[in-house]
Structure 1
């Protein structure tokens, strides 16, 4: 169920998009562009966009850079979530997570099942939090990026979404670091 409370003011979120690919350049990056188009159409801010090869240490380093950047609230990566030997995006994300958002992968699988049936089992989409930044790893297909944004992220990244959303708890993501 999705409900938007129109009496609340929309709060734009600063989102970085990372495409993980050994073969794509910016002009061939349909999945990354799909995310960029949806992010900006929703009223959010594209904080940055990069393409990185399927190298676990490079992916993790880029995630850490964006986590440390106060101009980035959310990172969405696309690509490298499958089962092949070069698919290391999930491992790179988990290298930096402080907390994993377990239900993100579950909900993504439910959404995917409605579109691609049991083939959804091949995705390892994941979400987590580190340094007060949300991180999501999506498959590299344009359809998967559309599904994740349209069915999950557009709502969870909208402060007006009821009964709860990721934006409203931004201030509390690092409350454990406060002095007692």
Structure 2
């Protein structure tokens, strides 16, 4: 159950969108645009946007670059989470993660089951943390991006969401890297 504490103040965060596709351009990127539209509507900042081919090393390098950018709190990638040989986004994400958010994939599957039934087993959506940044790999369809945002991420990216949210612990994600 999602609940917004109306007494708390909204805290905007910087979100980058990476579309992984061998064929799409920005103009044809409906999934990336779905996320961009929702980021803006929620009151967050689009910190960066890019399209990359399905190349594991390039995806991982881009994720690392954005994780090092202090204006980016969250990276959302779309595409490359399926089962084909070219689908390497999940592997690239896991190359970067310090910690995986295992429950994200589980909750996404539950949400997907309500929409697409057993076809949900073909998604490998995942989430993690690296260098004080949240990273989420979403399937490459606009519907999947809507489901992930509308049912999970919009709530977790809202500081007012109770009982807890990702934004409130954002300053502590990299505490293990700070000097004591």
State the TM-score bracket (shorter-chain normalisation): over 0.9
Q: Which residue of 2 aligns with 1:179?
A: 179
> Aligned partners of 2:121, 2:43: CA distance in 1, in Å?
32
TM-score by length of 1: 0.99
Moved over 4 A (4+): none
> Aligned partners of 1:91, 1:102: CA distance in 2, in Å?
14
- Give unmatched runs, 5+ long, in structure 1: none
> Aligned partners of 1:19, 1:174: CA distance in 2, in Å?
26
Task: Please report how far the alpha carbon of residue 9 of structure 1 lies from its aligned counterpart in structure 2 after TM superposition.
Answer: 0.4
Determine helix, strand or coil for the equivalent of 2:136: strand
Determine helix, strand or coil for the equivalent of 2:116: helix
- Give unmatched runs, 5+ long, in structure 2: none
Q: Deviations over 1:104-159 (max 9, x none)?
A: 00000000000000000000000000000000000000000000000000000000
2:75 is the counterpart of 1:72: no
What does 1:12-23 correspond to in 2, within 5 Å?
A: 12-23=12-23
Number of residue-to-residue matches in the alignment: 180
Determine helix, strand or coil for the equivalent of 2:129: strand
Q: Deviations over 1:81-123 (max 9, x none)?
A: 0000000000000000000000000000000000000000000
Q: CA RMSD in A?
A: 0.6
Task: Please report how far the alpha carbon of residue 178 of structure 1 lies from its aligned counterpart in structure 2 after TM superposition.
Answer: 2.9
Task: Please report how far the alpha carbon of residue 176 of structure 1 lies from its aligned counterpart in structure 2 after TM superposition.
Answer: 1.4
Q: Which residue of 2 aligns with 1:168?
A: 168
TM-score by length of 2: 0.99
Q: Which residue of 2 aligns with 1:141?
A: 141
Q: Which residue of 1 aligns with 2:24?
A: 24
Q: Deviations over 1:56-101 (max 9, x none)?
A: 0000000000000001000000000000000000000000000000
> Aligned partners of 1:177, 1:43: CA distance in 2, in Å?
30
Task: Please report how far the alpha carbon of residue 179 of structure 1 lies from its aligned counterpart in structure 2 after TM superposition.
Answer: 3.2
Q: Deviations over 1:3-55 (max 9, x none)?
A: 00011000001000000000000010000000000000000000000000000
